[in-house]
Chain A
Amino acid sequence: MIKLLYFASLREALGVGNEQVELPDRISDVAALMRWLQDRGELWRNALADPHLIVAVNQQVASTDTVIQDGDEVAWFPPITGG
């Protein structure tokens, strides 16, 4: 299982803030995970296509080729406003 998190405007657009998912074996990096989520439908395809989105794996900012493993926490969010 991996934990997925979505914040702020992205959370509102998707209508979900967090979920636990069982990862198919073939998904080993952020890019593959993103494509898998985008296959959920148009809403997901469009929302995750925003090039400004930031992705973090285990609370560290990551990139499309960052490796994903069972037990990881992956978060997507729009650019931060700051405190």
Chain B
Amino acid sequence: MISVQTDDIDPGRELEALRRACAGKAGAVVSFMGLVRDLNEGDSVSQLTLEHYPGMTEKALGEIREQACRRWNLLDAVIIHRVGPLAPSDRIVFVAAACAHRGDAFRACEFMIDTLKTEAPFWKKEVTANSTRWLPGSGNVPS
């Protein structure tokens, strides 16, 4: 499942849905939850706003999920990313992989978050005490 949403993420509900979807077959569900930090490059951050390219972003996340599913033989995987204005400590991203064994679930989860951190078409705008700034690009071209 892929979702780009303004709504908050409920990790407990997502993990339970994965457990049920893979009942009996999954030996492991590994998840990652990303949070907004209150400090970036020495400046205190009060708000982080995420913009995305509707359609292209979902496609990019779907491809990352598919790659992980094929490479590690996952039973199921979830990527949920929030957009819009967020505050420090808000949940920004949730990734989870369900697999027969924990090793592959850990690796798949790490792959999905690492890849979307650089290749998904999101732009971040940060509000600090002194300025509002668009964060520099990752240097990668969206997949």
User: Which residue numbers of A lie inside 8 Å of B, CB to CB?
Assistant: 5, 7-9, 11, 52, 54, 56, 59, 61, 75, 77-83
With both chains docked as a complex, state the minimum distance between the C-beta of A10 and any C-beta of chain B, in angstroms.
10
User: B interface, by DSSP: helix, strand, loop or mixed?
Assistant: mixed
Which chain B positions have C-beta within 8 A of A79?
136-139
Residue of B nearest to A52 (CB): B137
Decide if B141 touches A61 in the complex (CB within 8 Å).
Answer: yes
With both chains docked as a complex, state the minimum distance between the C-beta of B7 and any C-beta of chain A, in angstroms.
16
Residues A8 and B81 in contact in the complex (CB < 8 Å), given A54-B142, A59-B56, A81-B137:
no
Q: How far is the CA of A73 from the CA of B19 in the complex (A)?
A: 39
Q: How far is the CA of A72 from the CA of B92 in the complex (A)?
A: 32
Extra A-B contacts (18), CB below 8 Å, given A80-B119, A81-B136: A52-B137, A54-B141, A54-B142, A56-B53, A56-B56, A56-B142, A59-B53, A59-B55, A59-B56, A79-B136, A79-B138, A80-B121, A80-B122, A80-B137, A82-B118, A82-B122, A83-B116, A83-B122
At the interface, yes or no: B125 with Cβ under 8 Å from chain A?
Answer: yes
Decide if A75 touches B53 in the complex (CB within 8 Å).
Answer: yes
Decide if B140 touches A80 in the complex (CB within 8 Å).
Answer: yes
Which chain A positions have C-beta within 8 A of B111?
none
Residue of A nearest to B118 (CB): A82
Which chain A positions have C-beta within 8 A of B56?
56, 59, 75
Q: How far is the CA of A54 from the CA of B81 in the complex (A)?
A: 22
Residue of B nearest to A60 (CB): B56
At the interface, yes or no: B117 with Cβ under 8 Å from chain A?
Answer: yes
Q: How far is the CA of A52 from the CA of B93 in the complex (A)?
A: 27
At the interface, yes or no: B8 with Cβ under 8 Å from chain A?
Answer: no
Decide if A81 touches B135 in the complex (CB within 8 Å).
Answer: yes
Query: What are 19 pairs between A and B in contact, CB < 8 Å?
Result: A7-B121, A8-B51, A9-B123, A52-B137, A54-B141, A54-B142, A59-B55, A59-B56, A59-B59, A61-B141, A61-B142, A75-B53, A78-B123, A79-B137, A80-B138, A80-B141, A82-B122, A83-B116, A83-B117
